[in-house]
Amino acid sequence: MRDLYEVLGVARDASADEIKKAYRELARRNHPDANPDDPRAEERFKEISAAYDTLSDPDKRKAYDQFGASGGMGAGGFDPTAFRNFAQDRGFDISDLFGDLFGRRRGRARQRRGVDLETRVTLSFDDSLRGARVTVPVDKDVACRDCAGTGAAPGTQRVTCPDCGGAGERQVNQGFFAISEPCLRCAGQGSVVETPCSTCRGTGRQRRTKKYTVRIPAGIADGARIRVRGKGLDGEGGGPPGDLWVVVQVLPSERFTRRGTDIVVDVPVTFPEAALGAEIDVPTPLGERVRVKVPPGSADGKMLRVKGHGAPVEGGDPGSLLVRLKVVVPAELSTQQAEALERFAALDGGSDPRAELFA
């Protein structure tokens, strides 16, 4: 039996989070549905799952660290009485621990939840604010239609495994114990395929594109993840399927930028409007117009907040529209405009706005 820490690729002092992270990554890469052409994928997946079952349970991990390494021998030799007492003190049976290690719990096939899948969708900025329904294509392995998932050619059946006699496991002496592990030839199924299905080549699985309709809520942000329950890979041993995660990518807008639930828009104003104040029309992200009052003496870059016209929030109040003023300086002036500005400068009293830079 391989060392369980070696199976998960973690150090013996790895934290629970490190063990969980390693398991999830290995399970995703080695799931049989993700490796239909690899006959050993199921064996690796079961080994990974069994290792995680033990190392994710603090008591079973402690028992394994003390008694299970090096073929069931601790540093000072194996003491079956001490091991039995250790297990009983912590409320689990020895057979329960070793059943986990070899993918078997009291003779019943273990159920495994299916692996989650992830896909991406791209939305326009407008659609992200209004919400949408999108069709998401997902490539996944499903039961072969021609052989109904058995792997045997139509008109034939799977036969009893000659190595294990249909038991799906074989006895192995492991230190003090005689324990069972899954039969390698039939991968613990108890039966093998003599005449493989030509469609799936005996795997019982086919790669197909499934299409799902996903509701995108109004106001969704770039990078948000939507869970579609039960649309991941199928479970093992009758276990529930995994979930499908849809990652949303929002394309940038030429006019608006998002800041949390607030939306920023740059609005040009003339010098007289900024200096004297004005009321101006401002576009909203949803294609409306809103009247905004510019206070007198507004500087370039001043931000005005218009509540309720930002990004929608499902079940809550929408954000704000942040109007950033951009004072427009004319590139050319008429003679009258130039004379008017010269009179304005003369009335300013010669004040220097840069004086404090040299103080």
217 and 266 assigned to the same domain: no
Whether the CB-CB separation of 254 and 279 falls below 8 Å is answered with no
In a domain, 167, yes or no: no
In a domain, 53, yes or no: yes
213 and 297 assigned to the same domain: no
Q: pLDDT at position 109, please?
A: 47
As to burial, measured by CB atoms within 10 angstroms (0-12 exposed, 13-18 middle, 19+ buried), residue 130 is middle
In a domain, 152, yes or no: no
What is the CATH number for 244?
2.60.260.20
Q: pLDDT at position 2, please?
A: 75
In a domain, 182, yes or no: no
- What pLDDT tens digit does each residue of the chain (359 aa) get? 578 898 899 999 999 999 989 988 888 888 776 777 777 777 888 888 888 888 888 888 887 887 654 434 444 444 455 555 555 555 555 555 555 454 444 344 456 788 899 999 999 999 999 999 999 999 888 888 888 888 899 999 999 999 888 888 877 665 545 567 778 888 778 889 999 999 998 888 888 899 999 999 999 999 999 999 999 988 766 788 899 999 999 999 999 999 999 999 999 999 999 999 999 999 999 999 999 999 999 999 999 999 999 999 988 999 999 999 999 998 899 999 999 988 888 887 667 888 888 87
32 and 88 assigned to the same domain: yes
Distance CA 217, CA 96 (A): 45
In a domain, 139, yes or no: yes
What is the CATH number for 64?
1.10.287.110
240 and 287 assigned to the same domain: no
233 and 344 assigned to the same domain: no
Q: pLDDT at position 76, please?
A: 43
Q: How many domains does the structure of the chain reveal? A: 3
275 and 309 assigned to the same domain: yes
217 and 282 assigned to the same domain: no
Q: How many CA atoms lie within 13 A of 226 on its CB side?
A: 23
Q: How many CA atoms lie within 13 A of 153 on its CB side?
A: 4
275 and 352 assigned to the same domain: yes
Q: Kindly report the pTM of this predicted structure.
A: 0.59
Cβ atoms within 10 Å, residue 317 = 11
124 and 212 assigned to the same domain: yes
Q: pLDDT at position 87, please?
A: 55
211 and 331 assigned to the same domain: no
Q: pLDDT at position 45, please?
A: 82
**Residue where a domain stops, chosen among 91, 109, 127:** 109
99 and 11 assigned to the same domain: yes
24 and 139 assigned to the same domain: no
The domain in which residue 228 lies consists of 117-145+205-250
Q: pLDDT at position 275, please?
A: 93
Distance CA 185, CA 170 (A): 11
Q: pLDDT at position 71, please?
A: 39
In a domain, 240, yes or no: yes
**Residue where a domain stops, chosen among 250, 284, 311:** 250
